């Protein structure tokens, strides 16, 4: 039996073992996916152990995404560019680091949202790791203009500086509603914690919908609750929308395909993830 898991601290809350194991079982692959709770001081040794033949690799989550890249043998070019990894693949004893958040985000938009950001203006709210992955994905997909709105403008500026001028712009979050009034965004992505269950701002939406075009696609990377305040306003305004569970599953599907070389059964994974999170609905 092969082993694979997720490194994090804490990590018991992760539902990755649920939907990844569902995929392995569905395809009849003899592998077991586990939670691996690892503190930062132990991450180097734990990653090194993955070179053994019984390991397919692992996922990496908070707080190890940046540190873990230092302990693999080689980095995928996209992971090197973005500066963090969330997936490690054991290729015959050589450890390769990948970042599947970028492709996972775009795949969720295209495959679950039926939305293509190519040649379209986009607003990204937030400037953390999730926002960085979103901006990279949108730029690679060919979005015509990307505006990052964040409370701390310096964090947004640091992301924008990694791209050619004329592609990524920044704005302070407090001006986001006036920005909506003067711009015709085709896609708005919330990468902040506003609206997250238990996050301290779970009743808040990152923007108002008073003057928002009802054709704008609304995407919230938060997946608990299932319908965030942001998505509730989108529904009320009759905007098309998509929640963050699709990205969680799609980035996991990208990892699964790297470990196994097989097409991930995304519908099976999504159903397992939904059952794990929204079982009370």
Please give the residue that has the higher pLDDT: either 177 or 74. 74
Q: Which of 178, 167, 82, 51 is nearest to 120 (CA)?
A: 167
Cα diameter, the chain: 57
Q: CATH topology for 2-99+246-277? A: Rossmann fold (3.40.50)
What is the mean predicted confidence (pLDDT) over 168-173? 95
Would the CATH topology of 2-99+246-277 be identical to that of 116-239?
Answer: yes
Question: How do residues 69-114 score in pLDDT, each as one tens digit?
Answer: 999 999 999 999 888 899 999 999 999 999 999 999 999 999 999 9
Q: What is the pLDDT of residue 281?
A: 53
Q: Percent of the chain beyond pLDDT 90?
A: 77
**Local confidence band at 127 (pLDDT 50, 70, 90 cut-offs):** very high
CA–CA dist 115, 193 (Å, integer): 23
Tokens of 93: 């004893």
CA–CA dist 97, 86 (Å, integer): 8
Please give the residue that has the higher pLDDT: either 40 or 180. 40
CA–CA dist 137, 144 (Å, integer): 13
Residues forming the active site: 65
Contacts of 216 (CB under 8 A, 6+ apart): 185, 186, 187, 188, 239
Pairing of strands 87-91, 55-60: antiparallel
Calculate the average pLDDT of the chain.
Answer: 93
Range with the lowest mean pLDDT among 49-53, 112-116, 164-168, 201-205? 201-205
Please give the residue that has the higher pLDDT: either 109 or 277. 109
CATH of region 116-239, choose from 3.40.50.720, 3.20.20.80, 2.60.40.10, 3.40.640.10: 3.40.50.720
Taking the whole predicted model, whether its pTM rises above 0.85 is answered as: yes
- Res. 15: pLDDT tops 80: yes
Contacts of 243 (CB under 8 A, 6+ apart): 220, 222, 223, 226, 227, 228, 231
Question: How do residues 31-65 score in pLDDT, each as one tens digit?
Answer: 999 999 999 999 999 999 999 999 999 999 988 99
Q: What is the pLDDT of residue 280?
A: 55
Q: What counts of helices (H) and strands (E) characterise the chain? A: 10, 12
Domain boundaries, the chain: 2-99+246-277, 116-239
**R_g over Cα of the chain:** 19
Question: How do residues 19-30 score in pLDDT, each as one tens digit?
Answer: 999 999 999 999
């Amino acid at each position: 039996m092969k082993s694979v898991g997720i490194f994090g601290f804490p990590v018991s809350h992760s539902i990755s073992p649920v939907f990844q194991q569902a995929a392995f079982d569905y395809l009849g692959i003899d592998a077991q996916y586990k939670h691996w709770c690892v503190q930062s001081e132990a991450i180097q040794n734990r990653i090194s152990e993955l070179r053994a033949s019984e390991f397919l690799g692992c996922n990496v989550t908070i707080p190890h995404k940046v540190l873990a890249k230092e302990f693999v043998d080689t980095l995928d070019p996209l992971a090197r560019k973005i500066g963090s990894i969330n997936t490690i693949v054991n290729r015959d004893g050589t450890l390769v680091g990948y970042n599947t958040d970028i492709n996972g985000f775009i795949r969720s938009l295209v495959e679950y949202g039926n939305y293509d950001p190519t040649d379209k203006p986009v607003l990204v709210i937030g400037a953390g790791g999730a926002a960085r992955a979103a901006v990279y994905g949108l730029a690679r997909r060919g979005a015509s203009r990307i505006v990052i709105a964040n409370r701390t403008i310096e964090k947004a500026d640091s992301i924008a500086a990694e791209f050619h001028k004329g592609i990524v712009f920044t704005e302070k979050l407090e001006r986001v509603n006036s920005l909506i009034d003067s711009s015709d965004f085709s896609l708005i992505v919330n990468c902040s914690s506003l609206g997250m269950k238990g996050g301290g701002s779970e009743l808040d939406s990152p923007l108002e919908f008073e003057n928002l075009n009802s054709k704008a696609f609304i995407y919230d990377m938060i997946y608990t609750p299932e319908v965030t305040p942001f998505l509730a306003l989108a529904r009320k305004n009759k905007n098309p929308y998509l929640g963050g569970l699709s990205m969680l599953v799609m980035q996991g599907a990208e990892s699964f395909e790297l470990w196994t070389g097989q097409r991930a059964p995304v519908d099976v994974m999504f159903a397992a993830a939904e059952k794990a999170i929204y079982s009370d609905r």
